[in-house]
Structures are given as structure tokens and as C-alpha cells.
Amino acid sequence: MEELDLQLLCQEISKKYFHKKFHHQITYNSRLKSSGGRYILKTGNIEINPKIETILGKEVLIGVIKHELCHYHLHQEGKGYRHQDRDFKMLLREVRGHRFIERMEPYRYVYACNSCGATFYRMRKIDTNKFRCGRCRGSLILDFSSEG
């Protein structure tokens, strides 16, 4: 989807679900790695991870846009726009936006606790001498690495 199509889609979603106009810009940002999108407080613009549509599909893209529009409209109205705010949770539920999206990339490292057997998934390698199990404080071992 091109930037112009993304802008039109966002304006359409804003009118249909929020009954309000979207007056700012929505663009793709390929530097976003771990999130589907973000609302920028200072500018009022929205950035979307381009992998969302290509990997997860248009329905997920629409859900992510709804999520970011919740931040946008609540912030513009001076209401609670953060994830933990009641206003945000209620509006997100009302418009049926996505709260979480599935991972687009597999985890690279899997660690296991020597004591309780708990499993921890990580994208980055951790120092097993420095970090302990969050459940029982036991020592961790590298269980799997997808590094070649």
C-alpha cells in the first residue's frame, strides 16, 4: 500500500469508527522493529511499521491504525491517551482496535532456569552470569540459539 492510500485509509477509519476527522499525517517507518505503529505527541502524526500489512495482513493493519487513532483522538481532546488510562482502554474496546499483535520475527534465544525450568524468550543475548530467573532466582542457561 502506498503512502497516499495509507493516508486515505486512516481518514476513512477515523470517520467510520471515531466520527472525527484525522488532520495529521500517517506514514510508514521501516525503522520500527518491535511495534506495529506509534503516535507522535509533538507532531500529532502517526507512523506505521510497513511489515504489518505485508506479513500479518490488512485486517491487522486496520487494527493497528485504530489503536494509534485512539491515542491520537484522546490526546487531541485532552483525555487519557496512554495505555494504562481508562479512557484509552474503553475507546480501544469500543472501536475493536488491536492491543497486541503477534510477533513478526521469531525469537533468537531461549533461556531455561536450572532450578524451576522456566523458559525465557529473548531477541538479544543476555549475560547468564549477571541475570537470574525472575521466578525463583535460579541460574539461567542458554537452551537454544538460532544464530548461525
pLDDT in tens, the chain (148 residues): 788 899 999 999 999 999 999 999 999 999 988 789 999 999 999 999 999 988 889 999 999 999 999 999 999 999 999 999 999 999 999 999 988 777 677 788 999 999 999 999 998 899 999 999 999 999 999 988 776 5
Domain count, the chain: 2
* Residue 90 and residue 113 in one domain: no
The 3-state DSSP class for residue 148 equals: coil
Q: What is the DSSP string of 12-78?
A: HHIIIIISS---S-EEE-TT--S-SEEE-TTT--EEE-THIIIII-HHHHHHHHHHHHHHHHHHHTT
Q: Is residue 124 part of a domain?
A: yes
Whether 103 is covered by a domain: the verdict is no
Question: Alpha-carbon distance 76 to 20, whole Å?
Answer: 11
100 occurs within a structural domain: no
**Do the domain assignments include residue 104?**
no
Q: Which residues are designated catalytic?
A: 68
Q: What is the CATH number of the domain that holds 33?
A: 3.30.2010.10
Instruction: Tell me if residue 109 falls in helix, strand or coil.
Output: strand
Pair 136, 115: CB distance under 8 Å: yes
Residue ranges making up the domain that contains 133? 109-145
Determine the pLDDT at residue 96. 93
Q: In this structure, are 70 and 114 located in the same domain?
A: no
The reported pLDDT for the residue numbered 3 is 85
CA angle (112, 114, 115) in 5-degree steps = 120
**At 144, which helix (H) or strand (E)?**
strand 140-145
Q: Report the predicted TM-score, pTM, of the whole model to 2 decimal places.
A: 0.74
57 shares a domain with 83: yes
133: in domain: yes
Report the alpha-carbon distance of residue 71 to residue 39 in Å, rounded. Answer: 7
Give the Cα separation of 136 and 85 in Å (integer). 32
Same domain, yes or no: 87 and 116? no
CB 2 within 8 A of CB 30: no
Structural domain contains residue 119: yes
- Residue 76 sits in the same domain as residue 8: yes
In this structure, is residue 139 part of a structural domain?
A: yes
In a shared domain, residues 48 and 119? no
Confidence (pLDDT) at 120: 94
Same domain (yes/no): 90, 115: no
Residues 21 and 48 in one domain: yes
Q: Is residue 51 part of a domain?
A: yes
| pLDDT confidence of residue 55 | 87
Return d(Cα 85, Cα 133) in angstroms, integer. 31
